[in-house]
Amino acid sequence: MPRLPIVSGRELCRALAKVGYRIDHQTGSHIILRHEEPPYRRLTIPDHKEVARGTLRGIIRQAGLSVEALLDLL
């Protein structure tokens, strides 16, 4: 399994936009993304310079992606 990249919240949002996630709204320092087609998933992305590894792994899992797929999107 490849290592998780060091990525900011904004970079992660741009990568997830390529697979159908769009910014719904922002509350404080958290960006809320929604998937446009079924299954309608909702992701919460922290708008930080560096997303923590455990948080990033959880977001990848919730999005239904693998680490390799995320690396391709970045």
Tell me, what CATH number does 25's domain have?
3.30.920.30
Residues 1, 42: contact at Cβ < 8 Å? no
Per-residue pLDDT for 58 more than 80? yes
Tally of domains in the chain: 1
Q: How far apart are CA 2 and CA 46, in angstroms?
A: 23
Mean pLDDT value of segment 14-26 = 91
Place of tokens 């087609």: 37
Any domain includes 2 = no
Any domain includes 21 = yes
Q: Where are the alpha helices (DSSP H) in the chain?
A: 9-17, 53-63, 67-73
Q: Could you read off the pLDDT of 36-52 as tens digits, one per residue?
A: 888 788 999 999 999 99
Q: How far apart are CA 28 and CA 18, in angstroms?
A: 24
Indicate the pLDDT class of residue 1, thresholds 50, 70 and 90: low
Task: Note the pTM of the prediction, 2 decimals.
Answer: 0.85
Any domain includes 3 = no
Give me the pLDDT at residue 74, please.
86
Any domain includes 67 = yes
Task: For residue 25, give the DSSP letter.
Answer: E
Domain that holds residue 13: 9-73
Per-residue pLDDT for 3 more than 90? no
